[in-house]
Amino acid sequence: MTNLETRGHLLTEQANASSENLDRLTSLELVDLFNREDARTLLAIAHARESLALAIDITTQSLKKGGRLFYVGAGTSGRLGVLDAAECPPTFCSPPELVQGIIAGGAGALIRSSEELEDRATDGEKAIAHRQITELDIVLGITAGGTTPYVYGALQAAKSRGAKTIFMACVPREQVTFDADVDIRLLVGPEILAGSTRLKAGTVTKMALNIISTSVMVRLGKVYGNRMVDVAVTNNKLRDRAMRILIDLTGMTRSQAAELLERSNKSVKLALLMYWTDLDASGGIKLLDECQGQLRDAVLKHQKTIKNN
């Protein structure tokens, strides 16, 4: 870990030569500058592709065994983790406890700045203990500058409990080191506004979390093709999306899709399996359970069963 008293050498704290005249630019010039700098986020993701893939693999393995994924961060990093976790249940119908966000300062820090709390490593340790982290779980620490004590405390506590750890930062390893199972570095360079890591660092972090959580859910069988077949049908928009998935994948009419969706207790995945196999809801649920929720595997298994009989 680097010296926390002197951070000027960190990539995220350095001044960006491209924005030296930031306060003298026109609005259009500002937009163009942001656009050029934000393009660096795509390169950063590309350079981190192998570590991101490893994070997806170990997270999928842990969740299949009954583990949970925890994001831990402070400030912008913490808010992004909480946001990604909050979006998983409506998108993938996952239980709220499967992916959780932990932010220094708790829920209040989501809407009111409480950056001083990031300096308390013991608070990070307590957060891990409070959630009873075990060896089945994954803890992903997010710290743009790589030096947040709260995140360090949480990751160290998670390691002591046998959990797998992922370290995500926007500084190179030679500036900050941490011994984690996966080390993700998202190097977007100095910010347009020096030190304001809610900018490129925040953007690339959101991109990385999108990639990890969505890919894990794909691997867990919550997607068929590129459709969110485990979508939670909780409002009119999501009901319409569920209906369109059924119509697009089966060719049935909207009224038929509505009727099937009701018979499947608003489960698009179960509705599709029922349509493709002629199983009733209970039979479909049983088959999906046997196939660990993988719709494609369930359809193939049913086809083989029919063929062998």
* Catalytically annotated residues: 87, 118
Structure tokens that stand for 7 in this block:
């951070």
What would you report as the CA-atom Rg of the chain, rounded to the nearest whole angstrom?
22
- Alpha-carbon distance of 160 to 39, in angstroms, equals 39
**Among 140, 137, 125, 183, which residue's Cα sits nearest to residue 163?**
137
Which SS3 state, helix, strand or coil, does residue 77 take? helix
89-116 b/e (C-beta count within 10 Å ≥ 16 → b): bebbbbeeebbbbbbbbeeebeeeebee
Q: Is 157 in contact with 128 (CB distance < 8 Å)?
A: yes
Residues whose CB falls within 8 Å of the CB of residue 67, separated by 6 or more in sequence, listed in order: 134, 136, 137, 138
Structure tokens that stand for 297 in this block:
């595997």
Burial of 235 (0-12, 13-18, 19+ CB in 10 A): exposed
Q: Which residues pair with 164 in a beta bridge?
A: 138
- Alpha-carbon distance of 261 to 267, in angstroms, equals 6
- Alpha-carbon distance of 55 to 166, in angstroms, equals 7
Q: Phi, psi at residue 71, to the nearest 5°?
A: -95, 135
Strands 99-103, 164-169: pairing is unpaired
Q: Is 202 in contact with 76 (CB distance < 8 Å)?
A: yes
Position 249, amino acid: L
- Alpha-carbon distance of 133 to 128, in angstroms, equals 6
